[in-house]
Structure 1
């Protein structure tokens, strides 16, 4: 997968019902390019389906956490795109202060959570991180 595929996945995560024409406009690509990339990712098994996520479904990812990430140099946008392409990443926030990016992660098991942390820490330009598990949610927007 390349940067364009990651951007396409991020757009589909935001709105899986978006038409190929809408996706092409958002990404600045032709409809043919968008369609062929979606088809190729489906054929490779990187996209295994399209679905609706309800509030109740979110509870099926019981291991949730936030990861604060420090990034060296000017690679922030590239790293954000790479993280947005990870299915386990539910949100990526830029911020000020000590950390450059805060990542929300939602998975089924601690083992998967650990693997996601490892993948993010291995991204070129990530220099430090701190992670906290979310134990309960009292209010959700």
Structure 2
């Protein structure tokens, strides 16, 4: 990816609603040239999609936690996806190095809903144990790729 495309992505991460005209003005390029570059990055999969960043509280998600999963034996990524994608409170899953097999990001409406979600995750017969860290407050979050 060249420096111009990196700059376009930086602008889009900062303001996903920036028009091609606004981006072009900032990087000294025509709106049509910016559009071509964005279209090419989408076609190559460098830009995977566009979405809105929503305040979790607006969706009723007042409780947030990161849960380390420890499985009995090995667990493969397709199994993680199959087991966890069906749980609406699970908003992210990562396969990680270290002692844990996976890290799960959970957003829930209450402590009770979080507890129910953790129990649902633990119900998997291959689950050995979990370790949870409840988020007390968000200090800052960078726009992410």
TM-score (norm 1): 0.58
Counterpart contact for 1:70–1:100, Cα < 8 Å: yes
Note the residue ranges of structure 2 that are not aligned, 5 or more in a row. Answer: 1-50
Alignment of 1:93 with 2:76, yes or no, is no
TM-score, L = length of structure 2: 0.56
Which position in structure 1 is the counterpart of 2:54? 55
Cα RMSD after superposing both structures:
1.7
Q: Give the structure 1 partner of residue 114 of structure 2.
A: 113
Question: Which has the larger Rg?
Answer: 2
What is the number of residues matched between the two proteins? 89
Q: Determine the structure 1 residue equivalent to 2:105.
A: 104
**Alpha carbons 2:93, 2:102 under 8 Å: kept:** yes
Contact 1:63 1:109 in 2 (8 A): yes
What is residue 10 of structure 1 aligned with on the other side?
none
* Secondary structure in 1 matching 2:70: strand
8 Å CA contact 1:66, 1:103 repeated in 2: yes
Q: Name stretches of at least 5 consecutive residues in structure 1 with no aligned partner.
A: 1-51
Contact 2:75/2:101 (<8 A) preserved: no
Look up the SS of the partner of 1:82 in the other structure.
helix
After TM superposition, give the deviation of residue 76 of structure 1 in Å: 3.4
CA 106–71 in structure 1, closer or farther in 2 if over 3 Å, else same: same
What CA distance in whole angstroms lies between the structure 2 residues aligned with 1:81 and 1:110? 25
